[in-house]
Amino acid sequence: MILNASAAGKVALDLLRNHETFYVHSIFKKGFNILNDNQDLIFIGTDENGRFPFGLLVDEYTKQIMLSNIKIGQTLFVKHHTLNVNDIKLNFEVNELNIENDFEQCNITLLKEQLNKLSFEEYNESDFSLEQVDELLNMLATESSNITKHLRYFIGRGQGLTPTGDDILTGILYVHNLKNFILDEHLKTIETLMHQSLTTVVSEAFLKSAVKGMFSSRITKLQHDASMKSIEELKSVGSSSGMDTLYGIYISLNKEWKK
């Protein structure tokens, strides 16, 4: 049986074109994750939680067929532009997902006003207080020899497929693309840390993309539609992932830089 993906993210296409073997890492209702030997991740599934740079988008029918033919640890092979499992061939040579990077379109003032309507008080007594995040922002924007230590504090801290500290950092990286405040050397440090197995492979995939200016469509929608509806859509992602990302965006947008 030959099936076709609907679209593919740039990261996913690059991985599929350059690696021959993947295995099933995790399975969900919305799709599943596969890894290669380098622990690079591709999500295959529908777009209820948005579209990802490392995603291979499929329709509901294709998702169900694929899910019925896989199990954790199963090997999938790439051959002639298809991803193969059992007698299923999934064609991935399809249109590339439009991962929006027109950050200059964002109405920062409106986005800030909308986020200020939310309550982030729950973070005050957590490992990610305003003071903790503010200190990280100061270090990211200035020459700092302690940046690695502070990044290690955030990366991988928290529960779930994408720990809270990682989601906050993703929000910070998004605002960097709106306002350009993180030093290049610190972006390179984040990139380096992503190859040291400090967090989950799922979170690594998001952060590897974020440090290159590529984000989930639920995030990039904010630069076109800074409405409370768009904010609530992002907030609904995961058990707390969306809210954690919004917290990172909120603090970064409201940051008052020392002169």
What is the rounded average pLDDT of the residues 54-58? Answer: 96
What is the rounded average pLDDT of the residues 110-126? Answer: 94
Integer Cα distance of 154 and 132 in angstroms: 9
The ranges assigned to domains in the chain are 2-91, 103-253
The arrangement of strands across the sheet holding 7-8 comes to: 2-4, 88-91, 82-85, 75-79, 21-27, 31-35, 41-45, 55-57, 7-8
pLDDT above 60 for 238: yes
What is the rounded average pLDDT of the residues 57-84? Answer: 96
pLDDT above 60 for 259: no
47 strand-pairing partners:
none
Chain centroid, CA 87 distance in Å: 31
High-pLDDT (> 70) share of the chain, %: 99
**pLDDT tens per residue, range 214-226:** 999 999 999 999 9
- The pLDDT mean for the chain works out to 94
Among the residue ranges 4-18, 74-88, 92-106, 201-215, the one predicted with the least confidence is 92-106
Give one DSSP letter per residue of 152-199, joined into a string.
HHHTT-SSSSS-HHHHHHHHHHHHHHHH--S-HHHHHHHHHHTTS--S
